Structure 1
């Protein structure tokens, strides 16, 4: 069955982690196109600022933590009741920090990263799927993964593993949703200039400004692409990373810089 995307001005879009970074840039992108947008984050004040930039009723804001499945259920039900079944649900909320398995205090960070980056994605999609299935085989689920999920990076065990899990989870979800005509898109960014990357003290190749990234994400979503790496240069690097033998990967990463270990 061939699907055509809904014109942006007629769309209903739901985005998590929209208080800053990629989520905020995506929300602004869709709002500027005239879409009805629901946004969630833990920091309500920042969402309130966003809502005041656009006409009343266009931006629906919700304070919710993606780790809380019940809160996400309630948020989804409220958005559907007020705005209708979304055309696009974007599970964007994510965290990143340096972690070392040898450090006992990092165990909690491992749990937090997985709860947000993986279980938070499940909690985001699950409440919308039945409504999307009932809406005439319509809708699209979008998960924001990362190139860091392609290979394990030193000092980033939690982040790399969580994004690898997200990529595989989204592929499983895509195969499940194809029977219902619901598209699933996996976006794996490289380095995007956001508060998450601002703490990195090392060189970040092909660093992209967040507004440019958001526009490219939206273009991939509109095409209902299954999997895309942005920017395209990182896509070629990812292809190489997939085929590098393990012994060579170990040698290349022996002295690689680590992401800072910070509280999250």
Structure 2
């Protein structure tokens, strides 16, 4: 007889998801709520946070009292300090973090302005670093935990139209390795995920023409674009005790794209 009861794998655990109002962050928050977690999601816009909360609680009415939304811009360390204070006041500790907030800027090097460069670095690298830094005391207070950083498949190959974006994500990959090694003694695991072409709002904003989706889809060996849930399932695994012996690693979630590109290049 199959047990269809929802998992309580994350019962009594508190997980922070930055950039949780859409896409991979929202999908991860959904899975965590279903698994019994106390979930904190952040975003830069109050209206988007309200819509995300409404959607999540409509899908899982029993999880509404376990969801906390906090407006915070990860590029602003003062916002992250306030976020940490809010989590401390509400929950006391953190058991896990998905540092997911990011921006996608796809421009050739000649077109990148200083403003675009600074904003991309501020959100994608500086924001990730200070998210983890401010979360550390809360993770240590819980006796350790798991951190997952959202990187990208782009550093795994050359991408002419995204030099700054790919560089920030390469920095995130390095950060996961170094933090994973440095924090292991404190019981904190740090890993990263590197999504490929995932059909999120950000993807559709970057590639708005549906006709352009077909050659992208055709380049993926599994023959489809990824879903936000494809990434969320892996993130939840890395946040869970099922991955308790995994740290300083990167998992590429791309339908086989990177190996295929490498094979062609070879």
Runs (4+) of structure 1 exceeding 4 A deviation are none
Residue 233 of structure 2 corresponds to: 215
| Superposed CA RMSD | 2.2
Task: List alignment gaps of at least 5 residues for structure 1.
Answer: 1-5, 246-264
User: Which one of 62, 67, 77 corresponds to residue 70 of structure 2?
Assistant: 62
What pairs up with 1:19-58 in 2 under 5 angstroms? 19-52=21-54, 53=57, 54=61, 55-58=63-66
Unaligned runs of 5+ in 2: 1-7
Tell me what 1:84 maps to: 92
Distance (whole Å) between structure 1 residues aligned to residue 141 and residue 23 of structure 2 = 33
Alignment of 1:16-165 (within 5 A): 16-52=18-54, 53=57, 54=61, 55-103=63-111, 106-136=113-143, 138-165=144-171
Helix, strand or coil for the counterpart of 2:190? strand
The change in CA–CA distance for 1:131 and 1:219 in structure 2 (over 3 A counts) is closer
Q: Give the match for residue 181 of structure 2.
A: 175
**Residue from 227, 230, 234 that aligns with 2:253:** 230
> Cα distance 1:235–1:220, how it changes in 2: closer, same or farther (>3 A)?
farther
Question: Could you list the per-position Cα deviations for residues 23-77 of structure 1 after superposition, in whole angstroms to 9, with x for gaps in the alignment?
Answer: 1111111112221100100122222233331444311111110000011011111
Equivalent position of 1:253 in the other structure = none
User: What is the distance in 1 between the residues matched to 2:13 and 2:191?
Assistant: 17
Q: Distance in 1 between matches of 2:64 and 2:233?
A: 24
TM-score, normalised with respect to structure 1: 0.82
Counterparts of 1:63 and 1:131, CA distance in 2: 19
Distance change (3 Å), C-alpha of 1:57 and 1:166? same
